[in-house]
Structure formats: structure tokens, C-alpha cells
A and B are shown apart, each in its own frame.
Chain A
Amino acid sequence: MSASLDIRLKRANKVYHEGEVLAGVVAIVSKEAVQHQGITLTMEGIVNLQLSSKSVGVFEAFYNSVKPIQLITSNIEVVKQGKVPGGKTEIPFEFPLHTKGNKVLYETYHGVFVNIQYTLRCDMKRSLLAKDLSKTCEFMVHCLPQKAKLQPTPVDFTITPETLQNVRERSLLPKFLIRGHLDATNCVITKPLTGELVVESSDVAIKSIELQLVRVETCGCAEGYARDATEIQNIQIAEGDVCHSLPIPIYMVFPRLFTCPTLETINFKVEFEVNVVIVLHDEHLITENFPLKLCRA
């Protein structure tokens, strides 16, 4: 005999906002009746911080994982000890998403050193002879949209050998002129990053032009803070020797879960940047960095 436990949320996209009600059903499917000692539901929101080995020593990183920050927690007993009849049983539930005190529900975010995650766990306790059943389900929390109207902040850029920093031998660089603009650096997270790029001239053929989305995570702890930048994704927008002086669109969709509105708290920070990377045929790599400010509108 086997019973299966499942949590089904009402919303297909599992996205909820602060103040809303998280609703759904616990579904139990079994051929025969199931004896149990109570079914409970636990809702939890946690920020996990981790120190990278790069910023602090290896051992500190290993031992000094910063304590997780609990954002919200709630526990209810759905069914008291008893018996669930055979067949399919659905038990509806509701959780109001209210925080205690001055805590804020940060938006769900899956990063490297910072993780903000909301889970819903259902446990069915059973007698000693049978295994306890458990099912976990993640749900997404989105911030409430910003009230202030967002003013687009377009950025124009020009890249030439002269504008580059961090060059060892400037004279060895081939000549090139690349112009472009981003439509905005303060982006709405649901809208793509857009802009245009024009290769006006280049002595060496271009191999590839890419957009690199980078997260910058900062964790504060007793010893100070650690700041790390890692790549989220790399999107190629041009391949091969593209036609000169023809605008090439810059277009990137912000991935879900891996991005969230730019976040700044006492303990940690999550920021984003985009790099326009131009790879030349002689393996020269030219990067132009643009900090982004993401928000939800």
C-alpha cells in the first residue's frame, strides 16, 4: 500500500505578494484508507547567506556561515490524528502572508551566496510502523510594485581603444569604433533590457558580441563584508563579422528566480550589472560594464 502526498497551489505560476492569501489544497491519494497521527503544514521564508572562500579564508567560509534570516514562518495542523479514507482526498488550506513586526518579505531570489526562498511543507506523521510522509513545495514571492513612476535613464556609450581601462599595451590594440546605447539602466524586471549597438569600424573581424548578466552579492558579517560578482547568464547578440554601421539590437530577458529587484538590507545586498563583451577574431576581449538597477513596476 502506498499513499502519496501532494501540495497544489491555486495559482499556476505560484507567485504571491505580501498581504495576499496563499491558498491551495493538500492532496492525498491512496488506494486504501490511511491511518495517521496528524497532518501539518509549515510555511517558511528564509534568507540563506554564505560567505565565499574568496573573500574570507577557506576555514572561515566553512565554519562561519552566517545564520539564516527568517522572514516568515507559520505552522498549522490541517487534520487531527485519524484516518484518511481511500481514494483521492483534497484538504484545502489558506495562509495569510503577513509579516511580524517590521520585517519585509523580500522577493524570491536564487543566487550563489544569497538565497531567498519560500517553502511550504506538508508532513503526515504516522505510527512507528509506517514512514512519515512529507512534501515540500516552493512558492514565489514578488515585491509589490513600486509606486514612483520610473524615469528611463538611457545610456549612450562609445568604445574605442582609447576609452578602455585596464590595458597593458595600448599600442598592440587594433583600431575599432563601437557605439551604442542602452534604453535604460534602471530596468523593470519583467521587461527585457534593450538597446542598440553599432560597429562603426573595426580593423580586426569581430568574432562575437555578448551580453553578460552579472549579480553582485554582498554579505555582511562580524568580520566585515564579502562582495562577489558572478555570472548569471551570457547572451550572444552577434556572431561572426557583423555588418558595419548597421544597428544590432541589444535584447536580454531577465531570468526568473535568478534575478530580483535590486536589494539592499543591513545584512546583505543583491545588485546586478551587465557587461557588453566584444570578442575579436584575434581573441582580444573588450568589456564595457553597466550597473543596473532592477525594480518591479
Chain B
Amino acid sequence: MAAVQWHSRARRYESELQSCGLEVAPVEFSDYHPLKSITVTDSKSRRGARKGSTSSSSSSSSSVAPDPLSSMLDGTDPLSMFAAASASESPLTLSQSSSTGDLGRGKRREKEDEVGVDFEPWSSKRGEILARFTTTEKLSINLFMGSEKGKAPSLASSSAVSEKVRTRLEELDDLEEGSQRELLNLSQQDYVNRIEELNQSLKEAWASDQKVKALKIVIQCSKLLSDTAVIQFYPSKFVLITDILDTFGRLVYERIWSMCSDPHYSPDSFTADEVNDTAKETCLNWFFKIASIRELIPRLYVEVALLKCNRFLTKCGIQETVPRLTAMIRGIGDPLVAVYARAYLCRIGMEVAPHLKDSLNKNFFDLLGTFRQIHGDSVQNQLVLQRVEIPVYLTLYSPAIHWILQCVSYRAPEALLTEMMERCKKLGNNALLLNSVMWAFRAEFIATRATDFIGMIKDCDEAGFPKHLLFGSLGRSLACADPPEAERLPILNEAWKVITKVRSPQDYINCAEIWVEFTCRHFTKREVNTVLSDIIKHMTPDRAFEDAYPQLQSVIRKILTYFHDFSVLFSMERFLPFMDMFQKDSVRVGVCLSIMDVFIKHQQEPTRDPVILNALLHVCKTMHDSVNALTLEDEKRSLALLINGFIRMVSFGRDFEQQLSFCVEARATFCNLEPVLVQLIHTVNQLAMETRRVMRGSHSRKTAAFVRACAAYSFITIPSLTSIFSRLNLYLLSGQVALANQCLSQADAFLKAAVSVLPEVPRSISIEGKLRSSEGFLLDFINNFLSALLVVPDHPEAGVLFLVRGLLNMVQDYTWEDNSDAKVHVYISALPLLAAMSQESYLYSIPKVDSNETLYGGDPKFLAEINKLCETLIGQVLDHLKTLGRDESVHRQGSLAFSLFGCLLAHGDLRNNKLNQLAVNLWNLSHKQGYCNTRTSVRTLEFIKHQAQQPDMAYLSDMLHRLTLQSRT
């Protein structure tokens, strides 16, 4: 094909804009608009008045800047609506056995005697107890089943699976009648495993209808609770074995329940009269069997486990049984065993019949009555034998007494609590009780009497219950409820006087950590600072802090919850020294993360406070330095997010130079985190633009130098990024910023750098772990770049259209994907740019920067140069079209031809016959194969018709006649 001649159409941008501008129609607020929040009638769960529309809410907003996203979501967020809806419904009952079963119902009918959500369930205590009461001593399990035919215990501890299975099978056999085994020398883990095995064999026995065997297993298990050897482990043993009892209780209940298989009445509210005789008889049988259990403790525990089954027999069965069982516990001589039995009874009582408060109280008073047993001779002898210290022994009681008191005090009237407290007071050596009272009673109750409690704690015997635990419990209550204003300081002083004397660092920090919350809640940084310095003093010797990281972290967390003002926070002298105690890297970084998290959440305004900046820079540096080759991508991202948040919050106001030097410092500090560098470049670019704004567009000498420094900063930072598209986009952006600031040579340098980087773009890049073709991104970038080039003036020493040519050369040399039209697309999109460049006045320009329009002033040579370039490009496109025609890719040929046609129509001067002919040919080519979108074609024709009506475009109507529309048929 002969070379085409290009003539750009002359454009009058302003009149075009006017003629194609749409009519401005005022939008009524009530009109539908896709971006306006959809007005939903408030769901019932939501009480707060919500604004009818976004616009009204933002207009009424006060000092807080209206965040379009949040105001958009206000009230209509589907997720929060679901949450609200589900909260109003009752949560699913998780399991029948746990006391949470009552929670669901508790919400619907808040009865006085129901257990509500505010009652901390046993399941949450369980794990705590198991974790706290452990032992390294050897344990033993003694199981007698039926008669005393001895059988040698075979303790084959082999790891081989077959061996394991065999021993397990043997064990099961051993549970048969007439076997006895004693397992000695079990480690704690072994012991736990054995108990779990027993639990399993209980379920198996039950499933295989061996009810008697199941009962025997349960009896044997509960018998273990009378054994107080290895007393430190007793609380955990209690937990393990009561789990089995719970299982058993549930199995029996469900079995009897299934026998009454009458679907008419609900499991919650049936009465004994509705139960049929068979079920009753079975239930009665169980009770007779249990009543004949010889030993007291198994009989008690099993009967408690089956307490709920009393509902099948008589209406007031439970009501009569619980007091009897309560009295029965008096027969247990060992106070520890007795108190745990009481705890179990209280637990089941709360689950089955929460309205029976009297029995709970009776339990507690019985406990007080037998309290002196703890200091009796039998206990003392036992402790000597087991070599257990009294304070350790006393803490074994805590979980049980806590639990009993929690049950007793749950929704109890104030008078009752006062009475209980008085009775505890009267007993000698009552620290243990005192501790539980503070733990279990309502925090408000404790808080109003805090001073009394301190007095009582002081009166306690030094040798008994550890005082730091007492203060810990008090502190826990005071953290949730406030004591009277006037007493606060004396309380803190008194408490800290004792705490600071605690010798063991571990005990000390456990207690101190609790009191930090109280201190932060009610006092200023001065007191907190004192507390911190005391902690440092205690924890530094012998590097004691190494064992107390969780507590120290919690101290920081508590401080951060109460101190959101970072200038106050960092002005505490001891805060940073406190931070220095975190010497293990992972912990240190964790603490830094939480600090930054709080900073970003709560810092409202940008800051330049040197204290904050220094401290946070230090914190961020710690986070940054934790990054190594093994750091996960996600971790890096979250670190970078936090650091970016910090950088965004730094502002030196008008002191731009200092801001820049901050960025320089930050770049040095955070060089390993790419997103941070990107953020820094953006910050610096923003800084340059801010300078321009302040100077109202005309730089003084000094500011000109400054913006050049900014450009230099970006220019040397960008190459250190690895992501190619970040680099390209930042080059372009920085180039635009430089241009806007009249730094022509810097802008040139940026753009040249971008062009020179282009060949490095790989054909595929990884996005979120998947390999994707980079073509789309590259095309986007090039189009963006081209539009920027319009305003870039040519360098006086380089040739005409130096950058455009450079870019096109790069495009030509770039190894595009095989079989791709991307290159041709770039050529086609370069045509509008060139057409725009040949106009007399450009579509847009930068103030105070002379674009090519002024430089060349419409010089014919310049225009000729442009036209030549266009012709080359069109030639290239046509060549490509030809090759496509040969291949089987006529579809692509058609669409390419059509886009070139569109380009010619918009930007070419179609008065020129050759160009006109080319356009018609392209139209025909694109329609030849019938792949063209008919709708687009029709609309194009309509457009041409519309254009032709304008006075100077009449020639288009001629062309219109030559464009025929082919229907696909």
C-alpha cells in the first residue's frame, strides 16, 4: 500500500466542549442516585436514629472530616445488619452438658432464678485449672473392678502402633469383672491419657449396652477423688474426673429421656407426671444402685452426676436431694476433697436447678463451719509427708472456693453478700476466703469496700495465704469497678507498699500487672511512671524480665488502652526504659506492633512533636529490623502498613525542609520495606506540590532549590524498588510533579528513566501469588504516559519529539507476547497524541511551563515532522492488518481496523481524499468479515451524521454515503 498522508484535523477544543457538554440538571436529594445510600427502613434492632441520606449526614457533620465510605455505610452495612439481627435471636445452644445450655434461654426470659449470660461458665474455668495445677511427680491410678483377683499390671510403653493397640485391648479386658490393676509411676500426661481412655471405655461400654460396666468405671473414677496423693495435682484431677461424671450423667439422662419418647412435651418443661412407668422404673433402678455404693465419695459424686434425673421421678426431687447431698459432704474428712465435692455439687446444682439458692448458701456455711479442718493435724501431717508448703496448699483451694462463691453471689442481694463477708471476717486465718470473696463477688461490691479489704488483708497471717495473691484479687476487682474517688490514692499507696515488697519477681509481676490497670484508670502519667520504674527495678536484676514477657506485654497493653495521647505517653520517663526490657525479638516486635496499632487508631492530627517522633521512629525501626529473609509477605505488608500510617501522621507544617530531612532519615531507616519507600516518595512528591501551593505557583529561588531537592530525592529512591510497575508509575508521577514545579530537566530525567526502564518489564508478573500477563498493565501505563507527554516541552539539545520517538522505539523493540496486537494498539493510541500536538493551542498545559505549542509556535517543519511520524505509524498498523488477513485472525483484524477508523474519524482531517479513502477502506475491512458489532457501527454512523450537521464538517456527509452497513446475514 502506498504511504498514507496524514493531516491532523484542526480542533477548537472550547467550542467542542460546549457543543458536547450535557445539559446540567440539578439533582434533587430525593432522586435516585447510584452512589447515594439506599434508604432502608430501620431494622428493629437498631435504635440510633440514622440519617436518611449520605448528603444530609455530611452536611451536618461537625469538625470530623466526613469520610464518604463510613457515612455511606452508616446504617446500611449489610454485615452489621446481619450481626444485629443475629444478636437479637438467641445464640445456638452449643452442648447440653455444659452450662452454656442455659445461656440461650436466659436471654429470652430474664428470670431472677435463671442463669444468665453474665454467669461465667465452668467450661471457661476448666482450662485455667488444668494449666495451673500441674505436677512433675509420679501419679498412680488404682482400679478395682469387682473381686480382688490380682493381675500383674503390664505397662508396655511401646511406640509401635500394634503394640499400643494390643495394650489398649488388654486394658479393656482388664476392666471386666474381677480385675484389679494399679498403674504406678505415671507422668502427668500419662495420667491424663489414662483418664481419657477411661472416658472412652465408658462411652463404649454404654454404647454396647453394658450399663453395669459403665457404672463401675464411673465409680472407680470417682473413687480416685478420695486419693490426695500428689496433692498439687488434685484440682486438675478433679477437672478430669468430673468430665467423666458429666459424660455419665448426660448418658443416663438421655437414655431415660429417650424412654419417655413422647414428643408432646418439651425437654425443658415436662413434669414427673408425664413420664411413663418404664422410664420411671429405670430411673428408680439407677438410684437404688447408687444408694448401695459402699464408699461415701463415689456415692456422692455419682449421685450428684445423676441429679438431673430426679426430674423424672418427682416434682420436687431435686429440691429434696440437694440439701441432703450438701449435708452428706460433711462426712468427708479431708477438707480439700470436701471443698471440691461442694464445688461439684454447686456446679451441677447451678445447671439443673439454679433457683435453689438456699442449698448453695448452706454449702458455703458448711464450708465455713469446717474451715478449721484445714489447719488440723491430719492435714498438717499429710503436708509434711508430701513436702508441700502451706501457701501452696492453700492456693489449691482457690478454684473450688471461687466457684462456690461465684455461684452463691450470683445475683445475690447485697445484704447476703455483706453477711457472708462478715462471717468470713470472723474466722481466724481467713485469707483464703478473703481471696475468693474478692474474686467471686461483684466488683462493685468489692470496690466500694476496698479500704476495708486492704485493712483485712493487712491483718492476715503472713505465713498463710500469699499476700500478693490477695492484692492481685483485689486489683482485679478494682480494675472493673471504681472505688470512691477519695479513697483511690490511699488504696494505691497501700497496695503498692505491699506489692513492692514481694520478693519473687514472678509473684511480683503477676500482682503488679493487675494493679497497672487500676493505676492507669484513675491516675495521671506521674503515678504510672512511678509504677513503671518500680517494675523496672524489680524485673531487671538477674534478667528476671525474661520469664515475664506475657505480663510485661500486658502492662504495655493496659497503658495503651488508657493513654492515647502519645505526647503524654512518651513523656513518661520510664516508658522507653520499660520497653528496653523486651529483649527477645519476637516479643519486642509484638509490643511495637501494638503501640503502632494504637497510635494509628487514636492519633487524630499530624504531629511534629520530637518526643513522639523519636520514640516512634525507634519503635518502627525495631519493627523494620525484624524483617529478614524468612519474614512472610503478609507480615511485611502489615508492618509496612503500620509504618506508613506513622509516616502519614508526621507533619512539620510549613517547615518543609525538616519534613524532607525526616523523609531522608526514614528512607535510611526503612530501606527494607518497599511499601514504605513508595509511601516516602509519595510524601515527598506531595511536599513539592504543597510548596508549589504555598508559593502560588511561582517559586522563589529558595523554594525552587527545595523542589529540586525533592525531585532528587525521588529520583534516587525510585531505582531501589524492585516492583517494576511501582517504579514506572512513580517515575511518571514524579516527572509530572517536577514538571508542575518547573523543574524541566528533572522532569526529562524522570521520563527518560521511565522509557529506559520499559524494556525491563517482564511479560508476566506475579499478582497475589498468581502469574498474570503484564500486557494490560503495560498498555495502561503507556497510555497514561502518552497523555503526559503532550505537555512536556522538547529538550533544546535533543531532537524534535525526542521522548515520543524514544517511547515508540522502545515499544517497537519490546518483546511483546506472541500473537498479540498490543504493539499496534500503542501505535493507534499514539495517533491522538500526535494529532493533539499539532494543534495551535493545546488541550491542556502547565502554568509557567511552555509546551511545544509555544516553543515551535506551529512551525510547519514541526508539523511535518509530526505528520511523518503519523504516517509511519499508520503504515505499521496497516502492515500488521495485512499479516492478520493472512492468518486465521480476521476477527482481530476487523476490530483493529475499526479502532484505527475511529482514530482517523476523530483526529484525522478527512477532507483529505486519501485519508478519506483510507477511512472508508478501513470501515469496509472491519465489516467485511461480519464480526463487527452492529450496534457500535450504527452508533458510529449516527455520530458521523450528527457531526456532519456542523458547518465546517459537511464533507462528512459525503463519506457517510460511502459507508455501508452490512448486516451479518
| Chain A residues close to B by CB (< 8 Å) | 11-13, 205-206, 209, 233-243, 246-249, 251-253, 255-256
Contact = CB atoms under 8 A, between A and B. Distances in A.
Contact of A238 (B287, B324, B333): B333
Contacts of B287: 253
B153 interface: no
A247 to B, nearest CB: 7
A13 B334 contact: no
Given A236-B294, A240-B378, A255 B331 contact: no
B327 A249 contact: yes
A139 B509 CA distance: 70
Interface stretch (B70-78, B184-192, B366-374, B627-635): B366-374
Given A246-B330, A249-B327, A249-B328, A241 B294 contact: no
Contact of B281 (A13, A249, A255): A13
A241 B376 CA distance: 9
Contact of B294 (A12, A234, A247): A234
Given A12-B281, A235-B299, A251-B328, 8 more contacts: A234-B294, A236-B294, A239-B296, A241-B378, A243-B373, A249-B327, A253-B287, A256-B288
B624 interface: no
Nearest to A242: B333
B226 interface: yes
A242 B330 contact: yes
29 contacts: A12-B277, A13-B284, A205-B377, A206-B333, A235-B294, A236-B299, A237-B328, A238-B296, A239-B296, A239-B297, A239-B331, A239-B332, A239-B333, A240-B332, A240-B337, A240-B378, A241-B377, A242-B330, A243-B370, A246-B369, A246-B370, A248-B327, A249-B327, A249-B331, A251-B324, A252-B291, A253-B288, A253-B292, A255-B291
B14 interface: no
Given A237-B296, A239-B296, A243-B372, A253 B378 contact: no
Contacts of B334: 239-241
B294 A233 contact: yes
A221 B203 CA distance: 52
Contacts of A247: 330
8 A-B pairs closest in CB distance: A240-B333, A12-B277, A238-B331, A253-B291, A236-B296, A241-B333, A243-B370, A241-B378
B278 interface: yes
B296 A12 contact: no
A245 to B, nearest CB: 10
B295 interface: yes
A233 B337 CA distance: 25
Contacts of A242: 330-333
Nearest to B327: A249
Nearest to A250: B331
Nearest to B330: A248
Contacts of B281: 12-13
A11 B277 contact: yes
Nearest to B326: A249
B476 interface: no
A256 B286 CA distance: 12
Contacts of B292: 233, 235, 253, 255
B402 interface: no
Interface in B305-357: 324, 327-328, 330-334, 337
B692 interface: no
A248 to B, nearest CB: 5
B727 interface: no
B280 interface: yes
A251 B281 CA distance: 22
Contacts of A243: 330, 333, 369-370, 372-373
Nearest to B328: A249
A252 B331 CA distance: 14
A279 B637 CA distance: 73
Contacts of B378: 205, 240-241
Give the most central of A240, A249, A252, A253: most B CB within 10 Å: A240
B223 to A, nearest CB: 11
Interface in B270-304: 276-278, 280-281, 284, 287-288, 291-292, 294-297, 299
A11 B276 CA distance: 11
Given A12-B277, A12-B280, A238-B296, A248 B331 contact: yes
Contacts of A11: 277
Contacts of B288: 253, 255-256
A259 to B, nearest CB: 11
A13 B277 contact: yes
A242 B280 CA distance: 36
A13 B297 CA distance: 29
A249 to B, nearest CB: 4
A11 B287 CA distance: 19
Contacts of B276: 12
A255 B285 CA distance: 10
A239 B331 CA distance: 6
Contacts of A241: 333-334, 373, 376-378
A25 to B, nearest CB: 15
Give the most central of B280, B324, B330, B376: most A CB within 10 Å: B330
Given A243-B369, A246-B369, A237 B277 contact: no
A239 B300 CA distance: 12
Interface string B72-88: 00000000000000000
Nearest to B337: A240
A263 B294 CA distance: 26
A138 B280 CA distance: 19
A194 to B, nearest CB: 9
Contacts of B372: 243
B324 A249 contact: yes
A252 B226 CA distance: 21
A253 B296 CA distance: 14
A65 B167 CA distance: 49
A251 B331 CA distance: 11
Contacts of B277: 11-13
B447 to A, nearest CB: 35
Contacts of A249: 324, 327-328, 330-331
B259 to A, nearest CB: 10
A6 B546 CA distance: 75
B339 to A, nearest CB: 12
Contacts of A246: 330, 369-370
Contacts of A236: 294-296, 299, 331
A13 B276 CA distance: 11
Contacts of A12: 276-278, 280-281
A137 to B, nearest CB: 15
Nearest to B278: A12
Contacts of B327: 248-249
A26 B292 CA distance: 34
B881 to A, nearest CB: 88
Contacts of A205: 377-378
A180 to B, nearest CB: 13
Contacts of A238: 296, 330-333
A154 B868 CA distance: 129
Nearest to A234: B294
Interface in B180-231: 226
A80 to B, nearest CB: 33
Give the most central of B327, B333, B378: most A CB within 10 Å: B333
B331 A209 contact: yes
A7 to B, nearest CB: 16
Nearest to A245: B369
A12 B334 CA distance: 42
A255 B330 CA distance: 24
A248 B288 CA distance: 22
Contacts of A255: 288, 291-292
A246 to B, nearest CB: 6
A205 B331 CA distance: 14
Contacts of B332: 238-240, 242
Nearest to A247: B330
A192 B492 CA distance: 57
